[in-house]
Amino acid sequence: MTAETTPETTKPSVLFVCVHNAGRSQMAAAYLQHLAGGRIEVRSAGSAPADTVNPAAVEAMAEEGIDISANQPKVLSEQAVKDSDVVITMGCGDACPFFPGKRYEDWKLDDPAGRGVEGVRPIRDEIKTRIQQLITELLPAESTAN
């Protein structure tokens, strides 16, 4: 038998993509960082990033005890896709470069743009549910902690 590799030699990595990288992808990345406790590498980006994160998304996440107020939208790069195991678009029609061996998903989610915090909460809650499921898929032996 061959020697087993040590646990956590490579963390799974996830990239969330939305056109403006200002709402859905920021909330998803923040939830994954928070709930996975550093066990998953997290990135987010957009093809046409906004100047700032959506204030209603910031407020909705603050209600969950997660501060994304200092986050900055980032431009999507081919390297970010190459460096990720899972690439998740947020139902915003954004196209990503395709590389074999990557897992691609499209989460159909309403756009929080132009909504107040009351309109963003259901989107936030749907993202949280999907993130919890994603964690159980990527870290099946450790998912009982969340």
41-45 sheet: strands from edge to edge: 41-45, 13-17, 86-89, 103-106
**Cα–Cα distances in angstroms (integers) from residue 25 to residues 42, 91, 135, 140, in the given order:** 11, 10, 16, 23
List, by residue number, the catalytic residues: 18, 92, 96
- With CA atoms as reference, report the closest residue to 56 among 36, 76, 85, 26: 26
* DSSP 8-class letter at 9: S
